[in-house]
C-alpha cells in the first residue's frame, strides 16, 4: 500500500471548502505583520499554490501576537502542510499551532464560483509554467454601439448623451505540452454618459479588455489540473456543450453575459468569514 499515489485535482474555481483552510496562531510579535506574511508565504507556498494568506493581530484582550488564515486550492496540500508545520517553530523561537478548519462547508457556498482573471493566470503559471499554456482570440466583435432613449434626465453632469456598448469574444485556450484545448465565450456591456470621443474610446478599450479576460476565465472553468503526486501535472478538459461552436456567428458569444457594474471590485477576497477559529 505504500506505493499508492494520491491523485489531486485542481479546478479554476474559488476554494471555499474548509478542508483547504488552515489556521495558524501563537505567532510571536517579534516581527512585523509584513515580515510574518513573507515568512508564512515562504513556508506554506512550498506545499502548493495558495489562494489566500491573511495575517491579523490578536484581539485586544489576548496576548500580543498574530494569527493567520492560509487557504490552498488543494485539500491534500493543505493537509500535508498542516501535518508538517504544526508544533514547529519554523521562523520563530516558539512552536506554532496549525490546524485545519473543522467546520462543515455550507452547501450554498459550494457553487463553483470562477476565479478572477488574475487568479487564473497565477494558478496556471504556477502549475504549468509561463510557456505551459496559450490563449488566442478567435473573434472579438462590437455587437452594439447605440445611443439610448432619452428619458433619464437626472443623470449627473447632464452634458452628454447616453450610449450603450456591447462586445462579445470567442477565445481558444490551449495547452501545447498536453495536447489539450478548450474555448471560452463572454459578452460584456455598459451604458454610460458620453461627453466626448475620448470617453467613448476609453470605454471601448476597457470593455474590449474586460471581454477578453472574461472569455479566458470562462475557458479556464472547463480545465482540470491533475496532480498525480510525482511532481508532474496533467491537464484534462471537461466537455461542455459550447465546444466546437461555429466561429462566425454572433450567437457564439452570447453564452456568458456580464454587466460592467459586476466587475468594479474584481478581486474576490471578501468571503473570508471563518475567523472564529473552529479547528480540528
Residue 140 lies in a domain: yes
Residue 12 lies in a domain: no
Residue 5 lies in a domain: no
Tell me: do 56 and 189 sit in the same domain.
no
Q: Which CATH number is 212's domain given?
A: 3.30.390
Residue 175 lies in a domain: yes
Q: Can you give the pLDDT at residue 129?
A: 87
For residue range 72-112, list pLDDT tens digits in order: 999 889 999 999 999 999 899 999 999 987 666 555 555 67
Tell me: do 46 and 174 sit in the same domain.
no
Tell me: do 259 and 121 sit in the same domain.
yes
Distance, CA of 224 to CA of 227 (rounded, Å):
10
pLDDT of 244 over the 70 cut:
no
Q: What is the pTM of this model?
A: 0.78
Q: Can you give the pLDDT at residue 175?
A: 95
Q: Which range is least confidently modeled, 7-11, 17-21, 106-110?
A: 106-110
Query: CA dihedral in degrees (132, 81, 89, 278; nearest 10)?
Result: 130
Tell me: do 98 and 169 sit in the same domain.
no
Q: Can you give the pLDDT at residue 24?
A: 93
Distance, CA of 222 to CA of 217 (rounded, Å):
9
Residue 222 lies in a domain: yes
Tell me: do 213 and 128 sit in the same domain.
yes
Tell me: do 67 and 124 sit in the same domain.
no
Q: Can you give the pLDDT at residue 231?
A: 75
For residue range 248-262, list pLDDT tens digits in order: 444 444 444 554 444
pLDDT of 145 over the 90 cut:
no
Q: Can you give the pLDDT at residue 101?
A: 78
Tell me: do 174 and 250 sit in the same domain.
yes
Q: Which CATH number is 34's domain given?
A: 3.30.70.330
Tell me: do 227 and 142 sit in the same domain.
yes
Confidence of residue 61 (pLDDT cuts 50, 70, 90): confident
Higher-confidence residue: 17 or 212? 212
Q: Can you give the pLDDT at residue 262?
A: 47
Tell me: do 179 and 211 sit in the same domain.
yes
Across 3-7, 73-77, 170-174, 226-230, which has the greatest mean pLDDT? 170-174
Reference 165, options 210, 216, 128; nearest CA is 210
Tell me: do 42 and 142 sit in the same domain.
no
Residue 276 lies in a domain: no
Q: What percent of the chain has pLDDT over 70?
A: 75
Tell me: do 236 and 259 sit in the same domain.
yes
Confidence of residue 195 (pLDDT cuts 50, 70, 90): confident
pLDDT of 180 over the 90 cut:
yes
Instruction: Name residue, grid cell 462547508.
Output: 105
Domain count, the chain: 2
Q: Can you give the pLDDT at residue 106?
A: 56
Boundaries of domain holding 177: 117-148+159-263
Residue 221 lies in a domain: yes
Tell me: do 257 and 124 sit in the same domain.
yes
Pairing of strands 257-259, 180-194: parallel
Residue 111 lies in a domain: no
Instruction: Give, in order, the Cα–Cα distances in Å from 13 to each of 137, 160, 185.
Output: 22, 40, 17
Amino acid at each position: 500500500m505504500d506505493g499508492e499515489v494520491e491523485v489531486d485535482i485542481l479546478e479554476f474555481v474559488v476554494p471555499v471548502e474548509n478542508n483547504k483552510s488552515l489556521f495558524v496562531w501563537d505567532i510571536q510579535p517579534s516581527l512585523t505583520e509584513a515580515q510574518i506574511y513573507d515568512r508564512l508565504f515562504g513556508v506554506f507556498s512550498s506545499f502548493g499554490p495558495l489562494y489566500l494568506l491573511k495575517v491579523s493581530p490578536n484581539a485586544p484582550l489576548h496576548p500580543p501576537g498574530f494569527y493567520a488564515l492560509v487557504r490552498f486550492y488543494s485539500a491534500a496540500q493543505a493537509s500535508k502542510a498542516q501535518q508538517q508545520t504544526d508544533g514547529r517553530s519554523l521562523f520563530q523561537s516558539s512552536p506554532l499551532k496549525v490546524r485545519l478548519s473543522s467546520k462543515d462547508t455550507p452547501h450554498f457556498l459550494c457553487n463553483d464560483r470562477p476565479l478572477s482573471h488574475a487568479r487564473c493566470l497565477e494558478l496556471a503559471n504556477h502549475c504549468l509554467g509561463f510557456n505551459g499554456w496559450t490563449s488566442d482570440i478567435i473573434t472579438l466583435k462590437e455587437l452594439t454601439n447605440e445611443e439610448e432613449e432619452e428619458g433619464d434626465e437626472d443623470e449627473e453632469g447632464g452634458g452628454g448623451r447616453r450610449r450603450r456598448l456591447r462586445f462579445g469574444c470567442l477565445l481558444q485556450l490551449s495547452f501545447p505540452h498536453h495536447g489539450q484545448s478548450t474555448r471560452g465565450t463572454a459578452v460584456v456591456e455598459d451604458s454610460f454618459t458620453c461627453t466626448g470621443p475620448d470617453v467613448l474610446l476609453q470605454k471601448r478599450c476597457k470593455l474590449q479588455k474586460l471581454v477578453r479576460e472574461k472569455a479566458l476565465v470562462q475557458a479556464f472553468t472547463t480545465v482540470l489540473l491533475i496532480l498525480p503526486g510525482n511532481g508532474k501535472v496533467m491537464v484534462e478538459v471537461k466537455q461542455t456543450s459550447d465546444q466546437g461552436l461555429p466561429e462566425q456567428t454572433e450567437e457564439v458569444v452570447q453564452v456568458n453575459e456580464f454587466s460592467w457594474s459586476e466587475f468594479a471590485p474584481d478581486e474576490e477576497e471578501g468571503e473570508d468569514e471563518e475567523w472564529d477559529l473552529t479547528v480540528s
